[in-house]
């Protein structure tokens, strides 16, 4: 699905850091990627890998301070949003970039009905809408995300609805604003498997039908396989590997990706056979000098501990950050 | 394994939660049957898995076994003694033998106490002297693969996986025979999940423990547990060895539930399953009479709406509560 057109989103050398009493933590370090129409890009990594900070940076939701954008650029259809002020960002959020979050209930206001919140959001993003027109858009949007009985939902407060329903309302709200790009930060982590499948199917259909580019943040390889077309693997604030989903999952080139895939429980294995990655993710206050994964990597050589590998292409639209990508590392 | 005696024998327990409304004269507005007449046995040394979606009653069931929630009905036999008949003091003594590990390790540890204090707490509760308790804490930390020299630290200084190790160490402090593992790896990263499951599996063998493992992840239950029970809306729909339940699910609910599991290998079956997956939220409750799953089931027929199927043995040690397997259809 390589796209000849201009990317909708172009991220170059993005660096985001946080000031802490013990020093600055660079949570996202030199992240670069493109996102085209029809792409569903999964950003995958463990807690602390920087995947959520990347997502929040893309829509400038990092609170500053303690956060700081330390460099790079985020171009949405040619405009670098890192240069925009807060007022200009208001019109980017929602209308250009929509976002849904991990905890669906937390992204709705508990003291207002769904109807009030949907209409308020829609009218805020498009002041020319009348109340009646906004209600109409809201109703249609709710039907699109699979609510047959919209009247009941509109009259409800968030606490009267389940987590899956709240997530779908969040999705309806975002899609009603017709964004050019959707960011979903672990949208199904808090949900049941059945509800998870339903939400993912909604996203997949939307992308297929309208070409809406989606970035989905997850730590679940099953989710990646289910809906993503491309995957970006993060570890210790660095991007480690990128490529088409089929390529990366079937022949991962970075030892971290390989270890991550091996550690997924396969129901055909005995429990003792699950290999796991020994040790803990790096402390970003004092990150390893070389490759961030080197301390846990069983193939690391002296070079890996000394210098951070380049982020480089290895053909067929694949990128990797590993000194050993060409030599013995693959498999 | 069959020769082993039953450690836990749950007989017909039920629990109904009532929602009350009104400010002064609170009256019952709605009630939910969280667990409906469930019976099961757990043999000594066995790992029993319990799967189901949210609201299936799996956690409530486990908590009733621990007597953290008082059942409305039924009996809970632990090693032959009905826990429900015990006096509070007698029950307190029994608590040494049954311990629990929660889903969120950070929330289940006391943030104001050090790791050593957290683990020593149950020991102190039962009158162990501080010196002995400290020695035991070091042993326990080593048992779960943590460095005892760091035990002066606080839980927030540890990662999620390490906190879960601490929670396991605390649960093991009183040398229990039975652990109720309430989604112990759901909140953890995939790479850490495997570490914790491996640790639990080792401990189970080393200390001859019996587990009740509650999860919504069928893949993990299949791998980790000897036998599996499937729950849905408070009812037990199917039991069998984990292998059988996973390879050859009998109940239509189990099949649908399995269908929505996402796999890493290429497999687009989940999409059809998702289309069909029940809207737990919007599905209206079926009438009291019929099968609990009749509203969504693709294989339903007349009888499913009329009478609830009982859990019956179909082959070997497999039990299914479904009319498809009980009497000839129609």
B31: pLDDT strictly greater than 80: no
- Taking the C-alpha atoms of residue B258 and residue B270, their distance in angstroms, rounded to an integer, is 9
The reported pLDDT for the residue numbered B200 is 94
Is residue A55 classed as helix, strand or coil in its secondary structure?
helix
Q: Which residues contact A73 (CB under 8 A, 6 or more apart)?
A: A10, A11, A12, A13, A14, A80, A82
Q: What angle do CA A281, A285, A287 make, to 5 degrees?
A: 55
Say whether B264 and A226 touch across the interface (CB within 8 A): no
The reported pLDDT for the residue numbered A228 is 93
Is residue A132 classed as helix, strand or coil in its secondary structure?
helix
Using CA coordinates, name the residue in chain B closest to A203.
Answer: B271
Chain A residues touching B256 at Cβ < 8 A: 194
Higher pLDDT, B264 or A215: A215
Chain A residues touching B193 at Cβ < 8 A: 263, 265
Chain A residues touching B159 at Cβ < 8 A: 47-48, 280-281
Per-residue pLDDT averaged across B21-27, rounded?
Answer: 67
Read off the pLDDT band of B23 (50, 70, 90).
low
Q: Please count the other Cβ atoms lying within 10 Å of the Cβ belonging to residue A203.
A: 23
- Taking the C-alpha atoms of residue B300 and residue B294, their distance in angstroms, rounded to an integer, is 6
Give how far B88 is from chain A: nearest CA, Å.
36
B1: pLDDT strictly greater than 70: no
A2: pLDDT strictly greater than 70: no
Region of A64 (left: φ > 0; alpha: ψ -120 to 50; beta: rest) is beta
- Taking the C-alpha atoms of residue A96 and residue A94, their distance in angstroms, rounded to an integer, is 6
B146, B254, B279: best to mutate for the A interface, most A CBs within 10 A: B279
The reported pLDDT for the residue numbered B195 is 86
Say whether A201 and B274 touch across the interface (CB within 8 A): yes
Using CA coordinates, name the residue in chain A closest to B161.
Answer: A280
A147, A264, A265: best to mutate for the B interface, most B CBs within 10 A: A265
Decide: A293 and A240 in contact? Cβ < 8 Å.
yes
Strand order in the sheet with A79-80: A23-35, A9-20, A67-76, A79-80
The reported pLDDT for the residue numbered B315 is 80
B49: pLDDT strictly greater than 60: yes
Q: Residue A93 has what DSSP assignment? A: B
Read off the pLDDT band of B106 (50, 70, 90).
confident
- Taking the C-alpha atoms of residue B49 and residue B221, their distance in angstroms, rounded to an integer, is 6
Q: Which of B192, B220, B270 sits opposite A197 (nearest CB)?
A: B270
A114, A188, A271, A280: best to mutate for the B interface, most B CBs within 10 A: A271
Per-residue pLDDT averaged across B94-120, rounded?
Answer: 92
Cα dihedral across residues B184, B187, B191, B192: positive or negative: negative
Calculate what percentage of chain B has a pLDDT beyond 90.
52
Average pLDDT, chain A: 87
Say whether B281 and A47 touch across the interface (CB within 8 A): no
- Taking the C-alpha atoms of residue B204 and residue B211, their distance in angstroms, rounded to an integer, is 8
A1: pLDDT strictly greater than 50: no
Higher pLDDT, B23 or A308: A308
Per-residue pLDDT averaged across A84-91, rounded?
Answer: 87
Give how far B228 is from chain A: nearest CA, Å.
14
Query: At A216, phi and psi to the nearest 5?
Result: -115, 125
Length of chain A in residues, anyone?
A: 331
Give how far B271 is from chain A: nearest CA, Å.
7
Interface A–B counts its CB contacts (< 8 A) at 132
B295: pLDDT strictly greater than 60: yes
- Taking the C-alpha atoms of residue B41 and residue A35, their distance in angstroms, rounded to an integer, is 53
> Any CB–CB contact under 8 A between B284 and chain A?
no
Bridge partners, residue B27, by sequence:
B21
A160: pLDDT strictly greater than 90: no
Say whether B280 and A198 touch across the interface (CB within 8 A): no
CA dihedral A243, A50, B166, B64 (to 10 degrees): -80
Chain B residues touching A149 at Cβ < 8 A: 282
Instruction: Return residues 229-268 of B near A (CB < 8 Å).
Output: 246, 256-257, 260-267
Q: Which of B197, B275, B282 sits opposite A274 (nearest CB)?
A: B197
Say whether B275 and A201 touch across the interface (CB within 8 A): yes
Report cis status (omega within 30 of 0) of the bond before B285: no
Say whether A265 and B194 touch across the interface (CB within 8 A): yes
> Any CB–CB contact under 8 A between B283 and chain A?
no
Whole-model pTM? Answer: 0.82
The reported pLDDT for the residue numbered A330 is 44
Read off the pLDDT band of B282 (50, 70, 90).
very low
The reported pLDDT for the residue numbered B152 is 92
Region of B32 (left: φ > 0; alpha: ψ -120 to 50; beta: rest) is beta
Q: Please count the other Cβ atoms lying within 10 Å of the Cβ belonging to residue A62.
A: 19
Higher pLDDT, B29 or A81: A81
> Any CB–CB contact under 8 A between B198 and chain A?
yes
Give how far B47 is from chain A: nearest CA, Å.
13
Per-residue pLDDT averaged across A241-245, rounded?
Answer: 93
Query: At A136, phi and psi to the nearest 5?
Result: -65, -45
Q: What angle do CA A172, A115, A156 make, to 5 degrees?
A: 100
Give how far A9 is from chain B: nearest CA, Å.
27
> Any CB–CB contact under 8 A between B162 and chain A?
yes
A197, A263, A293: best to mutate for the B interface, most B CBs within 10 A: A197
Q: What angle do CA A264, A268, A270 make, to 5 degrees?
A: 80
Per-residue pLDDT averaged across A129-149, rounded?
Answer: 89
Q: Which of A224, A264, A267 sits opposite B222 (nearest CB)?
A: A267
| Token pair listed for A303 | 């070079």
Angle between helices A131-144 and A114-125 (to 10 degrees): 110
Read off the pLDDT band of A134 (50, 70, 90).
very high
Give how far A127 is from chain B: nearest CA, Å.
33
The reported pLDDT for the residue numbered A329 is 44
The reported pLDDT for the residue numbered A41 is 95
The reported pLDDT for the residue numbered B178 is 95
């Amino acid at each position: 699905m390589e796209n000849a057109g201009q990317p909708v989103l172009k991220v170059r050398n993005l660096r985001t850091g946080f000031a802490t009493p013990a020093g600055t933590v660079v949570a996202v370090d030199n992240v670069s990627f493109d996102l085209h129409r029809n792409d569903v890009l999964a950003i995958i990594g463990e807690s602390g890998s920087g995947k959520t900070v990347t997502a929040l940076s893309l829509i400038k939701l990092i609170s500053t301070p303690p956060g700081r954008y330390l460099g790079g650029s985020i171009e949405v259809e040619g405009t670098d949003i890192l240069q925009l002020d807060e007022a200009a960002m208001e019109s980017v959020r929602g209308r250009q970039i929509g976002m849904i979050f991990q905890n669906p209930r937390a992204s709705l206001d508990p003291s207002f009905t769904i109807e009030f919140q949907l209409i308020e959001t829609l009218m805020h993003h498009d002041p020319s809408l009348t109340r009646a027109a906004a209600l109409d858009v809201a109703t249609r949007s709710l039907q699109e995300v699979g609510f047959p009985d919209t009247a009941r939902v509109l009259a409800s407060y968030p606490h009267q609805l389940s987590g899956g329903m709240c997530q779908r309302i969040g999705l309806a709200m975002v899609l009603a604003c017709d964004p050019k790009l959707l960011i979903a930060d672990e949208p199904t982590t808090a949900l049941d498997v059945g509800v998870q499948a339903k939400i993912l199917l909604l996203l997949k259909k939307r992308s297929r039908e309208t070409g809406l580019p989606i970035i989905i943040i997850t730590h679940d390889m099953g989710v990646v396989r289910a809906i993503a077309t491309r995957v970006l693997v993060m570890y210790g604030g660095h991007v480690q590997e990128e490529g088409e989903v089929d390529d990366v999952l079937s022949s991962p080139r970075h030892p971290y990706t390989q270890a991550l895939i091996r550690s997924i429980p396969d129901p055909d294995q005995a429990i003792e056979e699950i290999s796991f990655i020994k040790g803990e993710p790096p402390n970003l206050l004092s990150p390893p000098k070389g490759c961030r994964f080197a301390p846990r990597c069983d193939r690391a050589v002296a070079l890996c501990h000394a210098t951070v590998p380049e982020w480089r292409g290895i053909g067929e639209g694949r990128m990797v950050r590993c000194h050993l990508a060409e030599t013995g590392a693959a498999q | 394994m069959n020769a082993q005696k039953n450690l836990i024998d749950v007989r017909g327990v039920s629990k109904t939660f009532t929602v009350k409304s009104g400010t002064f004269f609170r009256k019952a507005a709605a009630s939910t049957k969280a667990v409906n007449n469930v019976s099961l046995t757990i043999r000594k040394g066995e790992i029993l898995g319990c799967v189901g979606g949210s609201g299936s009653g799996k956690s409530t069931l486990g908590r009733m076994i621990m007597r953290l929630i008082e059942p409305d009905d039924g009996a809970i036999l632990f090693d032959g003694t009905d826990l429900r008949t015990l006096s509070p003091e007698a029950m307190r003594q029994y608590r040494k033998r049954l311990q629990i590990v929660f889903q969120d390790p950070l929330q289940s540890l006391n943030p104001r106490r050090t790791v050593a204090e957290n683990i020593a707490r149950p020991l102190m509760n039962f009158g162990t002297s501080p010196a002995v308790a400290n020695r035991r804490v070091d042993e326990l930390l080593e048992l779960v693969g943590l460095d005892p020299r760091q035990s002066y630290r606080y839980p927030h200084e540890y990662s999620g996986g390490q906190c879960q190790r601490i929670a396991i160490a605390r649960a093991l402090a009183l040398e229990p025979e039975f652990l109720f593992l309430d989604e112990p790896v759901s909140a953890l990263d995939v790479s850490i999940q495997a570490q914790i499951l491996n640790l639990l599996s080792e401990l189970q063998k080393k200390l001859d423990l019996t587990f009740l493992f509650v999860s919504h992840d069928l893949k993990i239950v299949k791998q980790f547990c000897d036998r599996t029970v499937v729950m849905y809306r408070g009812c037990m729909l199917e039991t069998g060895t984990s292998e059988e339940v996973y390879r050859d699910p009998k109940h239509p609910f189990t099949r649908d539930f399995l269908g929505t599991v996402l796999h890493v290998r290429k497999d687009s079956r989940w999409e059809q399953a998702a289309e069909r997956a029940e809207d737990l939220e919007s599905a209206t409750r079926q009438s009291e009479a019929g099968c609990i799953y009749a509203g969504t089931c693709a294989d339903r027929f007349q009888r499913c709406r009329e009478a609830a199927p009982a859990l019956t043995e179909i082959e070997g040690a497999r039990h299914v509560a479904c009319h498809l397997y009980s009497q000839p259809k129609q």
